[in-house]
Structure formats: C-alpha cells, structure tokens
A and B are shown apart, each in its own frame.
Chain A
C-alpha cells in the first residue's frame, strides 16, 4: 500500500493504481478529457498533467498513466502544472470552432468548463482554423461534427472495449485526423452506439433525435428506470423545467415530453451505459394513451366503472388475475394486499422482443423485455400462465395477453395504459398511469431494486392502479 502526498494531503493508494485513480478515490480532482474510468488509458489529451517532486526539481507528466509509488509528492495545481495545462488548452481550442451558441453540448461541455478553469484567455492564434466536415452521418442515430472533435478517441475505444462492435476508428493524421465509422456499417448496428454521445467530452457526437431540440439548461433530469428489459437500467429522463415551460397554446406535449434519455450511472446495474432502446424511451412511452374508462366498449365515468367492477369482484366465484410485469412493486403490493386473497394470480410478460430487436447480449440487454418480472414473481410466484376453464372473472392488468385464452362467458376487468383493440372487449376497462406519472420501484432480474420518480401529471381520467385495487376490494377496501 504505497503512501503518497497529493497537494499536501497524505493518502494511501492501492498498489498498481495510477495517480489519477488514487486522487479520484480520495476526492482530489484532476482534469481529464480522454481518460474514462471504464476505458483504457490512451494518454492523448495531456490535460491531466501533475507535478512530481524530484531531486532535480519538479517534473511534470500525465497522471492517468503514472503509477503511484511510495513517498511520491504530487502537485495538481503548481505553477508548472498550470502553465502546462494552459498551453494544452490553447492547443485543444486551436482548431475548435467555439460555436457553443449552436452546440447541443453547451452547458454540459467539459471543454467549456476547462476553458474557464484552466485557460480563460482568447486564442493567441491569428491563423485560420482547420476546417473539417461539420455534419457527418456516423449512423442513422448519430451525427458527427469533426470541427468540434478534440480526438480524445473515447468513442473509438468504447466501440472496441465496451460494445465490441469495432464500429469506429480514426483516419488520416495530424490535425486532419477524423473519427469515422467502419465501412461495414457495424456502428449503425451497434445497439449501444448512443453512449458515445454521452462520453464525448465536447459537442462532436450528437444525437439526431435531440439535435437542436433544447438547450440543456432548460431541461431537468428525473431519475427513472428503463422498462425496456429486465436489466432495469437506471436512467435520467430529461424534460422541460417547469420554470422554463413553453407558454404558447398547444405546447402541452412539448412541456410534457421526454426530450432525451441518458444513463444514470449505477455500478450495481448498468454502470455508466444504456442501450439504444433505452434512449428511445420517449417513443416507447409516448404511444397513444387510453384516457377514458369504458364499460363494454362504451365510455364511462371512472366512479361508475369502479362500482361495476366492484360488483363483479364481489359476485365472482372463481376470479383469476393476470398481473403486469410492468407494474411497480408498490402497485403489485397494493393488489396483493387488497385483492390477493380473493384472486388466483398469475404473472404475465407484457412485452415480447420486437422483430429486429437485439434479444439478449453479454453486456446489458436481457431477453425478458419487462422491467419488473422479478418483483411480480416475488409476490405471486412463477406458475406458468393457465387460466382455468371454470374461471368466471378474469382481471387482466397490462397488455400482452391473448384474450382468446379467457374462457367464454367469463367477465373481464382490464387495466391498460395504452390504446388497444382489446380495451373495448372488456366488461370494465380502466386506463391506468405509466411510470413517468408516478413514483415507484422495479426489481430487476438480479434482484436489484431501483426507484423511478414522477415527471409529469397524469391525465384527468386516468387511474393509479395502486389506488384502484383497494376501491375494487369492496367494503373492506375502498368504501
């Protein structure tokens, strides 16, 4: 266990660590562009220089590739280090267009932050900048602005070391170097490609779906869980800040839409990555919603529907429930508490892999495309779905059940968030809220429970399942 001193603080590092790792572990900040905790060390940006005391005076080298050694004395902010960083910042911004005004990264850009912190001066160059492709399609999802690129190669290393698609590489030399996608199109097929947008320290890699959509300071992140598969990656859903909401008429959708999705780093589940399906949550959760309760396909008041459903529950002799694996732990617990004893209960898979979707891989994506199968099974067991022929009431919660499996003559209570043809076939239909409209938890395949929070209010006619079940349980529950 080598002991070393960083900025006058004595710390104990682990053998084999670099100065960068040891400093970070002890809360000492050293700036970096190319270094990334999950990627290899290329040592190419040269901004992480630190000074080390030696017999011959202080020598300066990069911290990300400097092994710790016993007794070394490191300075992260000496005069020599500051001068070197400033020179490096001058180099990095030399050919950078500084078009922050039209750059999606502005506001969360490492280069902006470091410029103010370590340079702060205008360019000393009077020569023209190197021009490069300003808009290059790396794939259908990602646009590359080569002028903004500082060639840290994080994206290249990501496709080599994490997603393993080898989809990106560097071509040409010197200040004409360009990030380019492999000719075989493997980057376009990389299901994790959008992570390079997050790890890009500048605004070179841009999401086509978020391109010029919003300044990031108008948005706020809400912690959530991706419902795309049973991995349950923790994500940030970015939506418009209430204080910056658009007030023009007809802007409700803009104010209440998910503008982008980024990973919420979580070592227990997904690390710093998510897959592209998670990025497209806005599409997944933005499908047409059911917002009106129905009795046999005819719109009804919510209270009337509750009364009808309660009567069905009370009179049923053999009630069966098929619960949703998209429901939160809280909703499932509410069902179990109020109706669990009354119903024979099965857990169903709401969603199946779509054609063309990556079913399962070694990194994150799981074959079970439902977020809370584990949570539901923990409460209701994992008996295979088999509705007995003598069932006279079936409660179907969520989508994905073939109504043909329901015995003819049995009454149907159906809860669904989306518009679907089956909704009208139920005796009682309740539109229910989705995860962006309530708080809750999902338990992933490995038993890790993650929380999601409410982003938007739900529509007036929509019910919360957790509040609905006690009402259906009759005298003991709601009345």
Chain B
C-alpha cells in the first residue's frame, strides 16, 4: 500500500463512475456544506490546506485563487486542464474515467468560491472514454439539477462546457489552453498580465489541473487541518503517480506524499520488468530531470525531498528505465517530441527544438562531432527562461538532465559511430 488515499478510495466497478454510486459514496454532500460557507472562506480553507498544483509546476492552488477577487456581476472563468499532454502522464485520465463526479463537484465548489458561473473542461482530443465519462457525468448533473440552474436553496448556478482539444502539447499550457478555447491557434501568451487578471476572453480566469481540482472536495469535506495530516508538512495530501516504462506493474497509483520512492517501485509496482535493474527514473513527466537509482535511494516522494535532488515530481508521470537502455536513443525520442510539439511562436524554442533534434539525429546516424554535446548544452541554456511558455525550458531540463548523467554514452556514440548499448530502448526478458 502506498499510504492513505483521498481520490482512489473506492472500488472501481463498471458503474462506480455514475451519479447514483457517487452519491452513495457520499458524493455531493460536500457541495451542500460548501454552499453554506462564504466564498472567501472556501479560498481561505484551500490556502490553509497548502494544496500544491498537480499540473507540473506545484504552484500553490490557494495563491492562484487568491488573485481572483470575486466581484458579483463581473465575469470570471474556471477551466479544468484535462489536456494531460506531458509524456508519461495519464493520471487525470483515471479521474475522468472513474471519478468524473468528483471533478464536477469540485468544480461546483471552486466556481462558487471564485464567483464563476461558467466553467470549462478542456479535455485532450485523443481521450475517448474519459471524454464520454466526463460528458456523461455533466449530463447527469444537469439532469439532477446540479448544473444549469440554481442549486436548490441557493442562487448559485453553474454551467460546465467540455471542450475537446485539437491535439497539441502547448494546449496544456494554461494560456495556450485558453487561446485554444477562444478558437485560435494555441499560441501561449506573454505574462504579464497573469491569466487570473486577464485570461479567457480577456476575463479573469483560473486554470487548474484536474487532479488539483479533484482534491478540493476532499479539502472542504475534511477541513484544511485534517487534510494537512495526510502527506508531509510541505507537501500535504497525495499524488496520483502514473508509472510506465520498464516496470512490472505499470498504472496509476495514489501515493501519499512522503512515501519512500524505492519501496514504491520495488514493492508496490512489483519491481522492474523481467527482474531488470533500475538505471534511472523520470520522476514526473519527461520535462523533469532523470534521477539515477543511487540518487533516489534516500528520497521519499514529496517535493521537499525530490526538489533538492535537482529534479521535481512534476505531473506525476513517472517512467522507470532499466539498466541497458540507451540514453542517446531515449533523448532522441524526447527531442523528436519537443520538436514536433513546439508551437513555433517564439524564436528560441521554434529554432532550438529543431536544431537539437537535428543534432541528436546526426549523432544517432553516426555523424556526430565532439562539439555536439556542448552545442546541446548551449541550446538548452539559450532556451532557459527565454521563451513565452515553459516548454523551451522543459526541453532544456530534460536534455541537460540526461547529458549530465550519461555523457559517456553520447561520447561513445560520437567517437565510435554506434551505441554503447546497442541503441536499446526496450527491456527484454
């Protein structure tokens, strides 16, 4: 077991996602409690809970909300970011498929707290079942009178629209996401202004990750004090970890913050595939720096433990990589992705991603030159903090993380024209 559960705390059955079963588990009771509170008190409670965003940057949810000053008569928007495009991440999908009403209830509570009357779920276009489940849940909520007209006994009414994305990595970036909802090419926007000041359709907008929002119901039900008892002092609550790669039991696990990392991999996830040894692990989506087996040995799964090690828990998309995997090929896969997904708006990322991709392709083709490694470092550095959104930085982090730790594999390939590890990406029995 991976500690206490806040979200995956029920048995998944073919009907467990329905309104009836959600209500039977106590669903929508918290909404009633929330609607009796003052909106500002809900924000206060969320701030007190110390909930950190689960989209990747671990930004305190309460701080984001605090910028919104709910003002009756003024338009505010809420968007649930269900784009989940970070490679290796598929945790929001679990919530959308199995607990869609938890998200709907949380969005109702959040909207009430922030003065929102119109909310969006921006869902990844490739998601089919998750889309049908969340749309089904919203339809059920409309039929039950929870959405669309004032919730009985109050004058609070909310509409939720599910917007299916057109399939781009930058659509998951908050400002790219709202630009996409507005019907334009999802070019991220420059800050300032922050989106909580001027966001969707030029109105103040809060955009939270699905998992962040899903925690709201629990926080209001338990109260911030009880919520903080789960997890660690600096990382309260739990994290949904979606683990994939060379691992025996891939899938989504809810892990209480502070859970030992190696224990999680070796016991809960059943160890490495075919009994292989762990080479390194991508902690939370490919944009976080890889950590070697030795590095994760003393770490626990919480921000205050992982961040000092030079990486981050990011979006919880963990990828276990077995001994014998070629990191040059691995980086090639990542850079192909970043090149393909760069939106092309701002110079460093538009040109840098293609450049890095060309260099790594050339190395893999056996035509690398020794300066290529320094060039990859230089391009990563020139992308760090220079782009409109965080994607340029992310590609640089991933590259630098791998280069720092596995430089010998790159040098070997450049010097010998072939991989040190047969260019293996798979893990054989």
Residues of A within 8 Å of B378, CB to CB, are 87
Bound-complex Cα distance A170 to B343 (A): 10
Output the least CB separation between A333 and chain B (Å).
53
Interface centre among B168, B346, B349 (most CB of A within 10 A): B346
* Residue in A closest to B382 when the chains form the complex, CB atoms: A87
Q: How far is the CA of A151 from the CA of B351 in the complex (A)?
A: 11
Task: Flag if A174 contacts B346 (CB, 8 Å).
Answer: no
CB pair B345–A125 under 8 Å, yes or no, is: no
Interface positions, chain B 370-389, Cβ under 8 Å from A, are 375, 378, 381-382, 385-388
A175 at interface by CB-CB < 8 Å: yes
CA of A43 to CA of B375, assembled, Å: 25
CA distance A173 to B350 in the complex (A): 8
B290, chain A: closest CB distance, angstroms = 24
Q: Is the CB of B339 within 8 A of A174?
A: yes
Segment of A91-99, A294-302, A307-315, A360-368 in the binding face: A91-99
A36 → B minimal CB distance (Å): 15
Cβ of A67 under 8 Å from chain B: yes
Bound: A84/B354 CA distance, A: 19
Q: Is B110 an interface residue (CB 8 A)?
A: no
Q: Does A284 sit within 8 A of B, measured CB to CB?
A: no
* Pairwise interchain contact A177-B192, C-beta atoms closer than 8 A: no
**Minimal beta-carbon separation of A179 from chain B (angstroms):** 11
Known contacts A126-B369, A172-B344, A175-B344, A151 near B350 by CB under 8 Å: yes
Give the distance to chain A from B341, nearest Cβ to Cβ, in Å: 7
**Cα–Cα distance between A84 and B343 once the two chains are bound (Å):** 21
Q: In residues 160-192 of chain B, which contact A (Cβ within 8 Å)?
A: 168, 185, 187, 190, 192
Asked if A110 is at the interface (CB within 8 A of a chain B CB), the reply is no
Known pairs A88-B386, A91-B352, A92-B351; A174 contacts B344 (CB<8 A): yes
What's the least CB distance linking A24 to chain B, in Å?
Answer: 19
Q: Which of B268-276, B355-363, B415-423 contacts A (4 or more CB under 8 A)?
A: B355-363
Q: Is A1 an interface residue (CB 8 A)?
A: no
Given known contacts A67-B192, A91-B352, A95-B354, A176 and B344 CB-to-CB distance under 8 angstroms: yes
Residue of B nearest to A177 (CB): B344
Instruction: Return the contact of B347 from the options A41, A88, A126 (Cβ within 8 A).
Output: A88
Task: Indicate if the CB atoms of B347 and A173 lie closer than 8 Å.
Answer: no
Q: How far does the alpha carbon of A92 sit from the alpha carbon of B351 in the complex, in Å?
A: 7
For A128, the chain B residues whose CB sits under 8 A away are: 358
A65 at the interface (CB under 8 A from B): yes
Q: When chains A and B are docked, how far (Å) is the Cα of A65 from the Cα of B188?
A: 14
Chain A residues in 8 Å Cβ range of B339: 174-175
Q: Is A46 a contact of B346 with CB atoms below 8 Å? A: yes
When the two chains form their complex, are residues A174 and B347 in contact, meaning their CB atoms are under 8 A apart?
no
- B353 A174 Cβ-Cβ under 8 A: yes
Query: A62 contacts which chain B residues (CB < 8 A)?
Result: 190
Docked complex Cα distance between A90 and B348 (Å): 9
Residues of A within 8 A of B342 (CB): 173-175
Cβ contact within 8 Å between B388 and A43: yes
Q: Are A175 and B192 in contact (CB under 8 A)?
A: no
Q: Is the CB of A127 within 8 A of B347?
A: no
A residues within 8 A CB of B168?
173
The answer on a CB contact under 8 Å between B382 and A174 is: no
> Is A44 an interface residue, CB under 8 A from the partner?
yes
Residues of A within 8 A of B185 (CB): 169-170
Q: Are A43's CB and B362's CB within 8 A?
A: no
Q: Which residues of B contact A47 (CB under 8 A)?
A: 347
Query: Quick one: closest A residue to B353, CB to CB?
Result: A174
Chain B nearest CB, measured from A462 CB (Å)? 54
B117 within 8 A of A: no
User: Is B340 positioned at the interface, with any CB of A under 8 Å from its CB?
Assistant: yes
Nearest chain B residue, comparing its CB with the CB of A171: B185
Closest chain A residue, CB of each to CB of B362: A127
Residues of B within 8 Å of A42, CB to CB, are: 187, 190, 345
A65 touches B190 (CB 8 A): yes
- Expressed in whole angstroms, the Cα–Cα distance for A87 and B187 within the complex equals 22
Which B residues are within 8 Å of any A CB, using their own CB?
168, 185, 187, 190, 192, 339-355, 358-359, 362, 369, 375, 378, 381-382, 385-388
A-B contact sample (13 more), CB < 8 A, given A88-B386, A92-B347? A43-B346, A44-B346, A88-B347, A94-B355, A128-B358, A153-B345, A173-B168, A173-B343, A174-B350, A174-B353, A175-B344, A177-B344, A177-B350
Task: Give 9 nearest A-B pairs by CB, closest first.
Answer: A177-B344, A174-B342, A87-B382, A91-B351, A175-B354, A43-B190, A127-B358, A44-B346, A65-B190
